[in-house]
Structure 1
Amino acid sequence: MSATDDERARAGAVGLVLARPARLLGVEPFFMEFIAGIEERLAERELSVLLHVVAHQEAELAAYRRWAASGLVDAVAVVNLTADDRRPALLRELELPAVLVGTWEDGPGTARTPAFPAVRTDDAGPVRDALARLLELGHRRVARVSGPAGLLHTRARTAALLEGCRAAGLPDPVVVEGDYSQEAGERLTAGLLRSADRPTAILYDNDVMAVAGLSAARELGVRVPAELSLVAWDDSTLCRLASPPLTTMSVDVHQYGVSVAESVLELVDGLPVTERRSPTARWVPRGSTAPSPARAEVADGAAAR
């Protein structure tokens, strides 16, 4: 078959299924930036993204079956990998080319090279970095508002925070599970701040929950950053326009999407797929982090003398 005939046989699309509430896509910038990065790179080859939003993973599996039967896509990008994930096995069975995106493991605590190419993410390193920054500021009671516990990147971040706190001689941090929504951020933050031993710093798994947590602290009369430091994962306009602006673990999400598209293009071209990693999240300090209240009191006392 000639190259021209081969191009005509292609569907001209890459599939991306998001198993999450559709209402979150309108308020959470991450996936819009991620998809924009994929589309920018694919457009250079006149390919497009076929986006399908579903309520749960069963519906995602059904979408893959339909796409494989109809030849609607040339390949798929698989995001939000989970513990005991059924998608890789189904995609192998369907012989549907795929790129796995994010953290991947085979069994508890064991990483492996998957049967599909992957664009891997370091979720543990940035958590260790964020914790180190908070420890430097004197924080000893650190909590975390996480994403869904079944996601592998959630588990990796939680494990890194637990290990980091234990290594620093701190008690295990309180970790509460959210769903990336504003409602979860407000409710879970309020619960943490009403506890008897409330944290002096909270790490969030996305920007929306962090901004909502800032609002909850304000409602309860807890001053940020004088009494409470907040750190968001993923930077966005929401974080920059908050008052005070939120410190973030910032990821170049657009470049992340570009990297996924490059792996997909190599895959559909029948080339060896380069091992790629997403850009590493980096600490961007803003007005929502400051020395812990205890350290601030010591500094104020020293200044008074």
Structure 2
Amino acid sequence: MGSTGFPGAVGLVLARPARLLGAEPFFMEFIAGIEERLAERGLSVLLHVVADEEAEIAAYRRWAARELVEAVLVVNRTVGDRRPSVLRELGLPAVLVGEGGADGPGGTDGGGSGTAGPVVRTDDAGPVHEALARLLDLGHRRIARVGGPANLLHTRARTAALTEGCRAAGIEPVVVEGDYSEEAGGRLTKALLRGPDAPTAILYDNDVMAVAGLAAAKELGIAVPERLSLVAWDDSTMCRLASPPLTTMSVDVHRYGVLVAESALELIDGRPVAERWSPAARYVPRGSTARCGAASTA
């Protein structure tokens, strides 16, 4: 480590609007898990928030030139992602976070084989199939999804899983693209509910959009869950305190951060990096889901 560096720093660049970080609990819990594990070794997280991928790559170049970090964590993988190859060229060790595998946890695609660095993988398809199965069991056939940005790998995986599951059930979902913000959640929910063949169930890609969607439904006079069921991805205090409380696909985000930190520590130490999967998202039923057309909750 050069004299200008911060000994023991692990870099994390978030290319997203800073305003979303204050509203969306996910990354704060994620970073807390990383920090907790790194602190046991006297290391810390060097966090940088930027506007886009170009600014993120520029940050990596500065870090490499100044020897500011021991390793970096790459989140929100995208289609045609340039970051892994840039990091390899710069000689910056990297852990890729959230990339899915073909065979699910324990499958043959785990462990980072053939990737630009060790990977902490996530099963995005399995939880979507579970949420869809629950909604189908409740009698829902008009199902929509308010997703995240379409260029994200996990967004594509979730959309593909929903489309596949719906087609197997003989129905066609409606999928719209959001940006994880409150504004997008409310606007897109209103557009869905005002359109022809309005959905009776909506799945959201995060908690912020789901809470905004609940408010939008109330504004339109559509009762939840009597006329509309809502499911959020990621649990949070917002979901639990909403009225009615939101059904969620809940992930142990803190534990996720700990696992990512453990991979980073192994990478920094020059040890083999173990195959790891993020904690599986699980369906937590609350008051925002019910049998289609019925008042009883799931």
With the length of structure 2 as denominator, give the TM-score of the two structures. Answer: 0.93
Q: Is the 8 A contact 2:95 2:118 kept in 1?
A: yes
Q: Where does residue 227 of structure 1 map in the other structure?
A: 227
What does 1:165-204 align with in structure 2 at a 5 Å threshold? 165-170=166-171, 172-204=172-204
CA distance in 1, matches of 2:166, 2:59: 41
CA distance in 2, matches of 1:83, 1:124: 17
Look up the SS of the partner of 2:163 in the other structure: helix
- Which residue of the other structure, out of 38, 45, 54, is the alignment partner of 2:41? 45
Q: Relative to structure 2, which stretch is displaced further, 208-217 or 112-121?
A: 112-121
CA distance in 2, matches of 1:63, 1:104: 26
Q: Cα deviations across residues 63-105 of structure 1 (Å, max 9, x unaligned)?
A: 0000011100000000000000000000110010000000257
Structure 2 unmatched runs, 5+: 103-108
Q: Where does residue 269 of structure 1 map in the other structure?
A: 269
Look up the SS of the partner of 2:62 in the other structure: helix
**Residue 92 in 1 paired to residue 88 in 2?**
yes
Deviation at 1:135, TM superposition (A): 0.3
Q: Where does residue 106 of structure 2 map in the other structure?
A: none
**Residue 57 in 1 paired to residue 53 in 2?**
yes
Structure 1 unmatched runs, 5+: 300-305
What does 1:1-305 align with in structure 2 at a 5 Å threshold? 11-104=7-100, 113-170=114-171, 172-293=172-293, 296=294
Percent identity between the two aligned chains: 76
Counterpart AA for 1:181: S
CA distance in 1, matches of 2:250, 2:101: 24
Counterpart AA for 1:132: A
How many residues end up aligned between the 2 structures? 286
CA distance in 2, matches of 1:92, 1:25: 28
Q: Is the 8 A contact 1:67 1:73 kept in 2?
A: yes
Change (3 A) 1:91 1:104: farther
Deviation at 1:169, TM superposition (A): 1.0
Counterpart AA for 2:134: R
CA distance in 2, matches of 1:221, 1:167: 32
Counterpart AA for 2:62: R
CA distance in 1, matches of 2:146, 2:19: 20
CA distance in 2, matches of 1:100, 1:286: 33
Q: Is the 8 A contact 1:11 1:71 kept in 2?
A: no
CA distance in 1, matches of 2:116, 2:135: 38
CA distance in 2, matches of 1:233, 1:13: 31
Q: Cα deviations across residues 277-304 of structure 1 (Å, max 9, x unaligned)?
A: 00000000000000001xx39x9xxxxx
Deviation at 1:11, TM superposition (A): 2.5
CA distance in 2, matches of 1:288, 1:51: 35
Q: Is the 8 A contact 1:103 1:123 kept in 2?
A: no
Look up the SS of the partner of 2:191 in the other structure: helix
Counterpart AA for 2:255: Q
Q: Is the 8 A contact 1:214 1:224 kept in 2?
A: yes
CA distance in 2, matches of 1:103, 1:289: 30
* Structure exhibiting the larger radius of gyration computed from Cα positions: 1
CA distance in 2, matches of 1:29, 1:104: 22
CA distance in 2, matches of 1:73, 1:238: 34
Q: Is the 8 A contact 2:101 2:121 kept in 1?
A: no
Deviation at 1:196, TM superposition (A): 1.3
Counterpart AA for 2:269: D
Deviation at 1:113, TM superposition (A): 3.6
Q: Is the 8 A contact 1:82 1:152 kept in 2?
A: yes
